[in-house]
Amino acid sequence: MTEITEIALQKAQSVLESECSPIGLMASPEGYPHVWARDSVITSLGALLSLGHENCLGVSLVTLAEQQSELGAIPNNVSVVTGRLDHTNAGSVDSNLWFILGHLFHHRQFGDVDFLRLQWHALEKAILWLRYQDSNGCGLLEVHEAADWADLLANRFNILYDNVLWYAALRATTEMSRSQGLDGKHNDDMRHKLRIVLITTDHVSDEAALRQVITSPARYIGMIGSRNKCHTILEHLKMDGYTNEQLARVYAPIGLDLDGPSPEEIAVAILAEVIAVRRGGSGGLRSRQENITPD
């Protein structure tokens, strides 16, 4: 470790020391003396690796569960001063999502099944509350404006950030269910509704993302790229033991052949393919499939 990274580590540990309150990880001792659902879990990714701060996440999760609403909503934050839900900030969708993921991080770090069982009722309520945010049954969360961390932006409906976390939360719940000897199949059934489109900035990231989702029960998995790129990535996966059946699930290159080069036309081609797969359509020209020319 270099001198500058050692200094950075010491400063980060000092900040963690000031943030670990008796009821969990605060967002900031000065500006935000609250245990925020998202902040405490994200901060815990470092705290779990820092000696002396490993237990802060578990304390935060218990605090959040104690302030969970009757219907299952996890509070945005809990005041360190009062130990109660702070109504100054509106509720949000991602608090439930980070609450679930926080339990997975805690379980992977400590393997504490007893803690998981103690929190399981709160986790089941949290996942049920999230399922009600999928109002049209499409498999994605419909997010109200200002109902996630981007509360100053006019984002709403099927927000990418929240739905990526939703997919991760379903995976997390399945893993935690099975660690307790429970089935967890209903969470996989919900993931079956999802359609996954892989569009990252480079080949390496596309391949890494595909490895994460190729064994998922998602209805559709598509990957953008040239034929050569897609072939190379699938070859890599085959050499690593993925079966032909698994590889055949991947729609690559992605999209119907509309021969449109612009980003807008490519987007239409991708969505058209997703819809065709979802509805069982062929994606062909109906005028060529159904001859209505008079004899």
pTM over 0.85, yes/no: no
Distance CA 168, CA 175 (A): 11
pLDDT of residue 120: 97
Read off the tokens for 153.
């932006």
CATH assignment, 1-193: 1.50.10.10
In this chain, the answer to whether the domains covering 1-193 and 195-279 adopt an identical fold is no
pLDDT of residue 237: 94
pLDDT of residue 152: 73
Strand partners, 78: 35, 85
Predicted confidence (pLDDT) per residue in 27-77, tens digit: 887 778 899 999 999 988 888 887 777 788 999 999 999 999 999 999 999
**Burial grade of 262 (CB within 10 A; 0-12, 13-18, 19 or more):** exposed
Hey, where are the domains in the chain?
1-193, 195-279
Backbone φ and ψ for 24, nearest 5 degrees, come out as 130, -170
pLDDT of residue 17: 82
pLDDT of residue 73: 94
Spatial CB neighbours of 134, under 8 Å, sequence gap ≥ 6? 140, 141, 142
Q: Are strands 34-36 and 24-25 parallel, antiparallel or unpaired?
A: unpaired
| 222 membership: H or E segment, kind and range | strand 220-223
pLDDT of residue 1: 66
Q: CA 85: distance to chain centroid?
A: 25
295 residues of the chain, pLDDT tens digit each: 688 988 988 888 888 888 888 998 888 877 788 999 999 999 888 888 877 777 889 999 999 999 999 999 999 999 888 888 877 666 789 999 999 999 999 999 999 999 999 999 999 999 999 999 998 888 889 998 888 887 777 888 888 899 989 989 998 999 999 999 998 777 766 666 778 889 888 889 999 999 988 988 888 999 998 889 999 999 999 999 999 999 999 999 998 888 888 988 988 999 899 888 888 888 877 666 666 667 6
CATH assignment, 195-279: 3.40.50.720
